[in-house]
Amino acid sequence: MAFQWLQMRIQEERERRERQAKNLERLPGAMRDLHGHLAECIQGYTASFGASSAEIVLLPDRIKVTVREERDGKWQPMCKVEVICVPEMPGFRVERGEYSMAVEVGLLPSDKLFYRDREQDKYLTMEDFTRRILDRALFPALKEQ
């Protein structure tokens, strides 16, 4: 005899596992998509401050951004930011020096991705997400917005 609560919990767990599998499938695409948006930002920054002022690299499990400043005729690294893929979450961890942020990536019923700051329990637009990744790295002398 199967209890009703048990059947309901089995169904809930089956659905949770299916959602998790879909999210994991979409994570590499989400990383490439995020890289594209960040690369646009870096392109705008380097167009204003020089080709060597910043670079972005997409690796299989992370995105690396390096921001440089020209000092004594040489470009010196000033800040590094990494966006690391975290399949266990599933999502990304953003690391910049002492700063770290965990962002969960999920799938909406419309098959679109969402991004949620886990610490603040707040959903992020792509504009918010790119700002949180790059603003302090690119503009450390300006007030945070």
Number of domains within the chain: 1
Separation between Cα atoms, residue 103 and residue 114, nearest integer Å: 10
Beginning with the edge strand found earlier in the chain, give each strand of the sheet holding 99-107 in spatial order.
Answer: 54-59, 62-71, 74-86, 91-96, 99-107, 113-117, 122-124
Q: Which residue range(s) make up the domain with 62?
A: 4-138
Establish if 49 belongs to a structural domain.
Answer: yes
- Whether 45 maps to a domain, the answer reads yes
* Residue 85 domain-assigned (yes or no): yes
- Decide if 99 is inside a domain: yes
Residue 144 lies in a domain: no
Q: Look at residue 80 and tell me if it is in a domain.
A: yes
Local confidence pLDDT in tens for the 145 residues of the chain: 679 999 999 999 999 898 888 878 889 999 999 999 999 999 999 999 999 999 999 999 999 999 999 999 899 999 999 999 999 889 999 999 999 999 999 888 887 889 999 999 999 999 999 999 999 999 998 887 6
Q: pTM for the full model?
A: 0.86
- Does residue 87 form part of some domain? yes
Instruction: Tell me whether residue 143 is in a domain.
Output: no
Whole-angstrom CA distances from 84 to 55, 74, 101 are 16, 29, 10
